[in-house]
Amino acid sequence: MKRIAIPILLAGLLATSCSTSRYPGERYPDGRDFPGSERSDEQRRGDRDRDWERRGDDRGDRGRGSDGRDYPFSALNIPRGHLPPPGECKVWFPGKPPGHQPPPQSCAAAMRSAPLGAWVITHEGSRYRVSIFNSNKRHIIDEVRYYLAQ
């Protein structure tokens, strides 16, 4: 009798210690979805918005410059022909002439290879996002600005 009871007890203990009752809802505490959970993009966006509210961040101007506004395209001072196409990014060196800038590349490669003080320009539909990298420390973004693509 004891030989049968011990494996059943261990299996029951193992099953209850790994159950989702520890994490109510459809997400782990760090925000990841459980494997196999069917959630729509809208539900994920709602969760992300609630996460920002819980942290106390002011995200009312989501997707805008650090001062909460979109800049006009003319303030970018880059000719249209030298901007990246949709879905690609371009590393830009302020102070260098447009003809001496590198060609567009994938956004992952641009963000990974951006040197000190460079900008990474991303075409996002009706606007351009410009990530301004720190001039003293690698892989640190000092500011993100958004320019209207009008």
pLDDT digits (tens, 9 = 90+) for 123-142: 988 889 999 999 999 889 99
The contacts of residue 72 (CB under 8 Å, 6+ apart) are 147, 148, 150
| Residue the block writes with tokens 């106390």 | 56
* Residues 41, 85 within the same domain: no
pLDDT at res. 70: 86
pLDDT at res. 43: 60
What is the mean pLDDT of the segment spanning 34-56? 52
Q: Provide the domain limits for residue 28.
A: 2-55
pLDDT at res. 58: 40
Q: What count of Cα atoms within 13 Å lies in the side-chain half-sphere of residue 10?
A: 6
pLDDT at res. 8: 77
* Residues 87, 122 within the same domain: yes
* Residues 88, 143 within the same domain: yes
Of 92 and 36, more confident: 92
CA 91 to chain centre: 18
66 located within any domain: no
pLDDT band at 144 (very low <50, low <70, confident <90, very high): very high
* Residues 77, 50 within the same domain: no
* Residues 77, 143 within the same domain: yes
Number of folded domains that form the chain: 2
DSSP string of 20-58, one letter each residue:
GGGS-SSB-TTSPBPTT----HHHHHHHHHHHHHHHT--
Compute the distance between CA of residue 39 and CA of residue 62 in angstroms, rounded to an integer.
Answer: 22
pLDDT band at 6 (very low <50, low <70, confident <90, very high): confident
* Residues 19, 84 within the same domain: no
133 located within any domain: yes
104 located within any domain: yes
| Nearest CA-CA partner of 29 in 47, 10, 45 | 47
63 located within any domain: no
Helix (H, G, I), strand (E, B) or coil at 90: strand
44 located within any domain: yes
Compute the distance between CA of residue 27 and CA of residue 33 in angstroms, rounded to an integer.
Answer: 4
92 located within any domain: yes
The first and second tokens of residue 106, run together, are: 């994938």
61 located within any domain: no
Compute the distance between CA of residue 29 and CA of residue 128 in angstroms, rounded to an integer.
Answer: 34
Of 83 and 22, more confident: 83
67 located within any domain: no
